Amino acid sequence: MMQILVAIDFEPQSLIALEQSYNLARLVPAEIVLIYVYDPPAGIRSLFGASYDEDILKKLEDQLAALRASVQAETGLQVSTILEKGQVYSKILETADKMQAAFIIMGTHSQPELPGSAVGALGANSSRVLRSTKCPVITINARHHFDGCRNILLPLDLTTESRQKVTWGIKIAKIYGAGIKVVSGIWSKNDPDVHNKLRFLAGQVKHVIEQEGIRCTAEIVEDVENEKALIPAVLNYAEQQGDIDLIMIMTQQETSVIEFFVGSRAQEFVRLSPVPVMSIAPKELGFVSIFS
C-alpha cells in the first residue's frame, strides 16, 4: 500500500494538515504515516542531560499513539507513527525517501519555539523540504479547508517544467474527480509574442485536459503590473474563484511563473496561499512518478 507522510507537531496547523490527508488517503488508497521530529535546543540538552530527552521522547510516543488511535477510530484508515530525533527537515526528507512516500503533507505556519518541543520547526523547515524532496509536497496553512478537491489551479508558463504540471494535474484530478482551471498571467511589458504563445498554450492545455474527460477552463490574467505581481495575482484569482481547493506548482526550474517559486519566494507563495499548495519536483531532478 502507498504511504502518505504527515508531519506532526501537535499544533493546530499540523492537525489541520492531518485532517486534509484523510480524503486523499481514502482515494489513493494509502496508509497515513505520522512523523514527529524531536529537535531540542542544544542548551536544553546540556542543561538537563539525557534523562530530559528520555522523558520527552516517552511523552511524545504516548501522544503519537493516542493520536494514531483517534485517527483510526474516526476514519477507519490505516495509520502508523514514526518518532525521530534530529533536524526536522532532514529527518522528514530521509523518512520520505526511505519509505518512498507518495506524498508529504505538512502545515506551513509556525509558532515561537518552546524548550523541548518542535513547535515552529515545520514553518522554519518547509522551504528546505520543498526544495529537496523527490515526492509531491502538499502544504496547508492554519485554517480549515474544503474536505476534498473541487478544482485544481494550474498556473501555466512557457517552460517545459511548467508543462509537467499538466500531467500531474490530470493524475490528481482523476484521483479526486476534480476539475482543472488553467491560468496564465501577462503584464504590459511582455512582448506581444509572449502574449500570443501563452494564449495558444492555454488553449492547447485545455484541449488535452478535456480529452482526458476532465472539465477545464483556461484564462489569462492581464491586469498584472509586473512580473513580481504575478504570484499575488494568481492567489487573488484562486480566492475569487471560490471553488479551487488545490494549487499546483513546480519546486524548481520555473523561470517565468517563476524563479519566485524557489527559495524565499516559494516560501512566501506557500505561506500566503488561501488554499493548499502541491509542490512537485520536475522529473529531471530525479523524481519518478508513482502513477505512471
Residue % of the chain over a pLDDT of 70:
77
Mean pLDDT of the chain: 82
CA dist., res. 23 & res. 281, Å (int) = 23
Q: Hey, what amino acid is at 60? A: L
Residue % of the chain over a pLDDT of 90:
48
Which domains are delineated in the chain? 2-140 (3.40.50.620), 151-285 (3.40.50.620)
Give the pLDDT mean for 73-79. 98
Q: With a cut of 60, say whether residue 292 has pLDDT above it.
A: no
pLDDT digits (tens, 9 = 90+) for 37-47: 998 776 555 55
Give the pLDDT mean for 215-239. 84
Classify burial at 144, counting beta carbons within 10 Å of its beta carbon; exposed 0-12, middle 13-18, buried 19 or more.
Answer: exposed
